[in-house]
Copies of this chain bind each other. A is one copy, B any other.
Amino acid sequence: MPVARTGARVSEELRSRGVRLTAQRRLVVDLLERATRHLDAEAVYRLAHHKDPSIHRATVYRTLNTLKKHGLVDELDLMHVRGTRHYYEVRPSVLHIHLICTACGKVQEPAGRFWEGLKRRVRSQTGFRPEVVRLEMGGVCVDCQDRPPRPPGVRP
A residues contacting B by CB (< 8 A) are 75, 77, 79-80, 97, 99, 101-102, 108, 110, 114, 118-119, 121-122, 125-142, 145
Contact = CB atoms under 8 A, between A and B. Distances in A.
A131 B135 contact: no
A113 to B, nearest CB: 12
Most buried by B among A75, A77, A122: A122
| Nearest 7 interchain pairs by C-beta | A127-B142, A132-B138, A130-B139, A130-B137, A131-B139, A129-B140, A99-B128
B131 A110 contact: no
Given A75-B80, A102-B131, A134-B134, 16 more contacts: A79-B134, A99-B126, A110-B122, A118-B135, A118-B137, A119-B137, A122-B137, A127-B141, A127-B145, A128-B142, A129-B141, A129-B145, A131-B139, A132-B139, A133-B136, A135-B135
